[in-house]
Amino acid sequence: MVIKKTIVKTALDLAEKLEAEAIIVSGDIEIKDLTTSLPVYFAHRRPKSIIDYLVSTSSEQQERGKEIADKITQEVAGNTKNVENVAAIEHLLGELERGVVVGIVETRDSSSIIVHDLSESPLIKAMRECEERVSPEVMRAVLTIAFDIAATGREGSQIGTAFIIGDVDEVMSRSHQMILNPYAGHSKPNRDILNKQNWESIKEFSQLDGVFVVSEDGVIEAAGKYLDVDAKDLVINKGLGGRHVSAAAITRDTVAIAITVSESGGIVRVYKDGKETLCIESTKRAFKQMLPE
Ligand SMILES: Nc1ncnc2c1ncn2[C@@H]1O[C@H](COP(=O)(O)OP(=O)(O)OP(=O)(O)O)[C@@H](O)[C@H]1O
């Protein structure tokens, strides 16, 4: 208990010294009787725990020891990623600026303090890389919707979808409707992805087969589009299926950007020029708490 409290106190002091944006906690840590002027975010537990591994049925004792050691390393790395992902999502939602965050990572046997510079975050780098082609507000809006879909799904089940943004004429000429376009005939304000009032219906239509086609300034031109692309010579993670492959391929053949949400695993990816520029596991929104100052 004394060790944990010292770690937390040290992290809070460090965060104040570094003029951090926030403190993010991943793991089971209670913060009691301590003060800070900074917001503290408690990340949701990562779904896989080391316990899964401890009950594994590996026969060789030595092999099992190595497996567990590997898993601990992975768990620490996973929790560090968790802190980075929470910071990225809070930045996206306008809660954190591009500053430093201090993370407290607690695993079964170890505690650690990490310092993460948000301006070096892969999310911010990917957003910056896409700025020339798609307005940053549109990227931010689509990523926010994508993370929300990845983390919460719809009506209790996980869903996957994809948004193809920019170079609309070329994207349209390389795709066809799988179903009637639900946006056909609607006014621009009702198709504006920057208007949060349209987000609920976008989430609803994300259950449809096919992809969304969005202009670089955020007008949704279509949903339910099938991408007629050739995935030959595409260098992409082998485990990915038709949605991801076609989304990556359309960004190779046009100057559009693709943002995908995978149905299995709630992972958000960004593709540009046929390559993955971002891959983040979405997490439920962290719980924010203000301690006494
Ligand atoms: N070429 C395509 N254009 C548009 N949508 C597609 C295309 N290929 C597949 N899809 C859509 O993706 C859905 C899932 O397909 P698949 O499982 O092969 O993709 P995936 O990349 O593994 O995606 P996920 O991880 O979300 O399952 C299909 O039901 C279909 O709606």
Which of 209, 243, 252 for mutating ligand 1's site (highest number of atoms within 8 Å of CB)?
243
Same-domain pairing of 146 and 201? yes
Strand 211-214 to strand 287-290: parallel, antiparallel, or no bridges (unpaired)? Answer: unpaired
For position 29, which CATH number holds?
3.40.1380
Distance of alpha carbon 70 from alpha carbon 78, whole angstroms: 12
More confident site: 137 or 281: 137
CATH classification at residue 207: 3.40.1700.10
In this structure, what DSSP letter does residue 58 have?
A: -
Based on the fold, state whether residues 43 and 106 are members of the same structural domain: yes
Q: How far apart are CA 227 and CA 243, in angstroms?
A: 9
98 and 166 belong to one structural domain: no
Half-sphere exposure in the Cβ direction for 131 (13 Å, CA): 8
- Beta strands, E only, 91-143: 100-106, 111-117
How far apart are alpha carbons 219 and 134 in whole angstroms? 12
What lies within 8 Å, CB to CB, of 292 at 6+ separation is 35
pTM of the shown model: 0.86
**Last residue of one domain, picked from the residues 120, 154, 180:** 120
Quick: pLDDT tens for 100-109: 999 999 887 7
Q: How far apart are CA 237 and CA 242, in angstroms?
A: 12
Residue 13 has pLDDT above 90, yes or no: yes
Q: Which atom of ligand 1 is nearest to the CA of 210?
A: 5
Taking CA atoms only, the protein residue closest to ligand 1 atom 20 is 241
What values do phi and psi take at 212, rounded to 5?
-90, 145
ipTM of this complex: 0.97
101 and 6 part of one domain: yes
Residue 175 alpha carbon, nearest atom of ligand 1: 3
Question: Among 73, 92, 120, which residue terminates a domain?
Answer: 120
* 45-74 tens-digit pLDDT: 654 433 333 444 444 566 766 776 777 677
> Residue 124 belongs to what H/E stretch?
helix 122-130
120 secondary structure, DSSP code: G
Pick the last residue of a domain from 69, 88, 120: 120
Same domain, 37 and 66: yes
Cα 170 to ligand 1 centre (Å): 20
Q: How many CB atoms lie within 10 A of CB 94?
A: 9
Could you tell me if 55 and 194 lie in one domain? no
3-state secondary structure at position 22:
strand
